[in-house]
Structure 1
């Protein structure tokens, strides 16, 4: 505590014992509450946000521990050290220094010192010796000797603080790092004031030094985990933007004609839409496609590559390019899916995918299609809908040498074909999901265009709650 003759103000009166006891009780209750929440937070893991939260709890507990110890010291008062002879006239006697009370180990983090400028003597508490790692039997260091313990880069800061205190009467409030004899480095926070003599000059300086190494470590952990979390969020935002741009580049536009314009009479009215997830989950590998082939047939496909992020979007682009290339070469749907399966099986990164591939022949109004572990297309006719019977087909990439069957469906003018990915209806089993889709049959029958039908699907399934992306493609037979 400062001397009654410290530079600018009289000594403050100590608070009552009862009020300090109440503060201690409140502090310990708060410590218990914080620790209870802290125990529910994982201490290890790859999630930066969880690590950041844990670091904040650790920092809060550390500061509350210190507060509890300091309040206990304030309540119990300092133990009086052996009396020391008074200095010259005008020089205050060395003040008592606090020592660690029984059962309060945190008090060893705080020590005190007095430096008498008239006699060049120094008086340290036992705790300060512990903080600096020095032998209590050795003499206390003078102000001129103290910088020898301080790191080279921190010495100018300590010198400036002491000079400002002794020359200009400014209070000391700053930090520096000391190197203990065992080589360990400790961060020390120093607060102090000059003590004036009878002639108004500085006679001595007192200071309280606190070991804040653990506090700084906790704060550094909080800062590093916060920076890691911010970096991860920026990375996720960048990956989301790249994946979105990649999808936009490879998927056909969902307004109007999806791919190449027909050279002859328009036989299919086409429209499609991608429905993004309602959560912050990175973009997935869903796709849709419609492509007019050289023989006048039309390729329709939807699919989904498992996973999220840029790598999955890139894999989706690779699969979609392979689908288009093989379809233009005349490969049938079943054989095409078999080749896609070989492609995924040969990639360095294992992946699974599902897909539906269809070829529509306008001359005969027939649909030849195959599926690989994917929801079958829905056929709507005369105000009712049904699920097409699916041929055999396992997930892409699930097994080597898989063979995919084909099915043929006869269509009529006015029929509506709906293809979709399995993320369209979240949180439902397949049966209720299909029932909701098939229940749209009357609204599809009343719609004028395929785009109106897609808009109906979006109105029904485009709300919140979907945890994954989804695609829907509608093809109406017009002639």
Structure 2
């Protein structure tokens, strides 16, 4: 390539070799560390977070490779300077092609002589632009023929500013190679002055930054995708919370039912969100005074998380309330809820326990669908009620659900909960033992609270006891607890 030095520009001296060697060593150590982390984190998943991480690792490694090559050139110093222009043919006598994707294959140089209208290109520039090395290099007037139509004004302005106002060139444009390939080229250059200070030629270094820009676009696109995903999740979470709060009875303080008589229940409940997921689940609890004076108590869980599941929970709870108001007994109610889930467009599974309490007789009729049985506490001890048969809601068409009865006494305490209340490491309430009314470590943990329940004055105090014992543990799913205490 012709000299880029003018008479008034002294030759730059290379930096000290030791300092550059130290920088190269640091760069290569950092490359090794980044590459090791990239390999450990390599994943072919389609998750936007993973794509964003992969793109950033690739981009960082790409730039470190370039930095390594730049420093190596800096260590070797500038090539020998010849004041006379080299023959064009000599410039095109390129060495063996560098390895694909290396820095040398992405950086080329050129000089355009304004006095003779001659151009000289390095072999790498022919390779970048996809030109035949045997063909003459393009003049400044011919160069725009390779450039995208919308990018030509930018190139023209850069060249004009350089030749007329001696401004340095620093900008990018896209070119179309003869094989149809598209490359993004970054061009840096400046005018070369003769002895009297006038512009004699213009030199430039052109770098193929296509891969770099692709990596940057990937990072930007995945970042935008993550941002949209985060905003969508926040919106869905807000909608799910609003829907849940609109449907479930308030849980801060005791639940109060209208027209409660002397034989009324002291009620309290609490909802515990998952500690490992920001999404709202399909857990519910409910206490409803019916038209005939009975009280409906229920808890349940629709599988999944998000707005769709919360909406399904609201539909299921609304149906349960409506059928209970019409006088439907718990066993039949479970059967119809099962049919409702079976008929929905999107298949869903749910579990539930439904109790109907008659204050006058203190009789409790209840049914369950694949759900942990209620716990009954009396005189300082607790036990699990014997569960009637019942499969998960939505598991099979036409399922029948048995119904059980229990006579309560003054001072009795009934505890209903969803299976997320107790961390699964203590035992799975969905096990066959739990569904059949057994216990397991999870249920024993609750039954052990019987002495403390006996000392409690209100149902709300009992809920606080449950939260003190279980509320601080990490839980994978949402949970509800509902406590009903029979008035003395």
Structures share a fold, TM > 0.5? yes
State the partner residue of 2:290: 293
Q: Is 1:232 aligned to 2:229, yes or no?
A: yes
State the partner residue of 1:194: 191
Cα distance 1:98–1:317, how it changes in 2: closer, same or farther (>3 A)?
farther
Q: Is 1:44 aligned to 2:54, yes or no?
A: no
State the partner residue of 2:175: 178
Cα distance 1:73–1:97, how it changes in 2: closer, same or farther (>3 A)?
farther
Q: CA deviation at 1:294?
A: 1.4
State the partner residue of 2:412: 415
Q: CA deviation at 1:371?
A: 0.9
State the partner residue of 2:33: 33
Once superposed, what is the RMSD of the aligned Cα atoms? 2.6
How far, CA to CA, are the matches of 1:100 and 1:20 in structure 2?
Answer: 26
Q: CA deviation at 1:445?
A: 1.5
How far, CA to CA, are the matches of 1:312 and 1:10 in structure 2?
Answer: 74
Cα distance 1:99–1:432, how it changes in 2: closer, same or farther (>3 A)?
farther
How far, CA to CA, are the matches of 1:219 and 1:327 in structure 2?
Answer: 59
Among 347, 350, 353, the alignment partner of 1:353 is 350
Among 420, 431, 450, the alignment partner of 1:441 is 450
State the partner residue of 1:90: none
How far, CA to CA, are the matches of 1:463 and 1:173 in structure 2?
Answer: 59
Contact kept? 2:6, 2:195, Cα under 8 Å: no
How far, CA to CA, are the matches of 2:93 and 2:28 in structure 1?
Answer: 22
How far, CA to CA, are the matches of 1:30 and 1:264 in structure 2?
Answer: 76
Cα distance 1:103–1:135, how it changes in 2: closer, same or farther (>3 A)?
closer
How far, CA to CA, are the matches of 1:94 and 1:171 in structure 2?
Answer: 28
Per-residue Cα deviation, 1:163-217 (whole angstroms, up to 9, x for no partner)? 2222222221111111111222110011112121111111111111000001101
Bigger drift between 254-263 and 93-102 goes to 93-102
Q: CA deviation at 1:23?
A: 3.7
| Structure 1: runs of 5+ lacking an equivalent | 88-92
State the partner residue of 2:431: none
Cα distance 1:194–1:187, how it changes in 2: closer, same or farther (>3 A)?
same
Contact kept? 1:113, 1:125, Cα under 8 Å: yes
Q: CA deviation at 1:15?
A: 3.2
State the partner residue of 1:428: 426
Per-residue Cα deviation, 1:235-282 (whole angstroms, up to 9, x for no partner)? 111111111111011111124564641253351011111111112331
State the partner residue of 2:65: 65
Contact kept? 1:303, 1:356, Cα under 8 Å: yes
Q: CA deviation at 1:17?
A: 4.7
Contact kept? 1:259, 1:292, Cα under 8 Å: no
Q: How does 1:35-114 map to 2 (within 5 A)?
A: 35-75=35-75, 85-86=84-85, 104-105=99-100, 106=102, 107-114=104-111
How far, CA to CA, are the matches of 2:388 and 2:229 in structure 1?
Answer: 44
How far, CA to CA, are the matches of 1:237 and 1:173 in structure 2?
Answer: 42
Per-residue Cα deviation, 1:348-406 (whole angstroms, up to 9, x for no partner)? 11111100000111111111111111111111111221111111111111112211111
Contact kept? 1:73, 1:101, Cα under 8 Å: no
Bigger drift between 255-264 and 272-281 goes to 255-264
How far, CA to CA, are the matches of 1:304 and 1:6 in structure 2?
Answer: 84
Cα distance 1:16–1:404, how it changes in 2: closer, same or farther (>3 A)?
same
Bigger drift between 415-424 and 462-471 goes to 462-471
State the partner residue of 1:471: 480
Q: Is 1:252 aligned to 2:243, yes or no?
A: no
How far, CA to CA, are the matches of 1:16 and 1:98 in structure 2?
Answer: 32
Contact kept? 1:304, 1:421, Cα under 8 Å: yes
Instruction: Report the secondary structure of 2:421's partner residue.
Output: coil
| Structure 2: runs of 5+ lacking an equivalent | 429-439
TM-score, normalised relative to structure 1: 0.92
How far, CA to CA, are the matches of 1:42 and 1:325 in structure 2?
Answer: 53
Instruction: Report the secondary structure of 1:304's partner residue.
Output: strand
How far, CA to CA, are the matches of 1:375 and 1:54 in structure 2?
Answer: 44
How far, CA to CA, are the matches of 1:348 and 1:76 in structure 2?
Answer: 71
Cα distance 1:32–1:467, how it changes in 2: closer, same or farther (>3 A)?
same
Per-residue Cα deviation, 1:445-475 (whole angstroms, up to 9, x for no partner)? 1221111211222222222512211111010
State the partner residue of 2:400: 403
Q: CA deviation at 1:12?
A: 2.2
Q: Is 1:318 aligned to 2:315, yes or no?
A: yes
Cα distance 1:99–1:86, how it changes in 2: closer, same or farther (>3 A)?
closer
Bigger drift between 221-230 and 167-176 goes to 167-176
Instruction: Report the secondary structure of 1:405's partner residue.
Output: coil
Q: How does 1:454-469 map to 2 (within 5 A)?
A: 454-469=463-478
How far, CA to CA, are the matches of 1:102 and 1:124 in structure 2?
Answer: 15
Instruction: Report the secondary structure of 1:3's partner residue.
Output: coil
Instruction: Report the secondary structure of 2:422's partner residue.
Output: coil
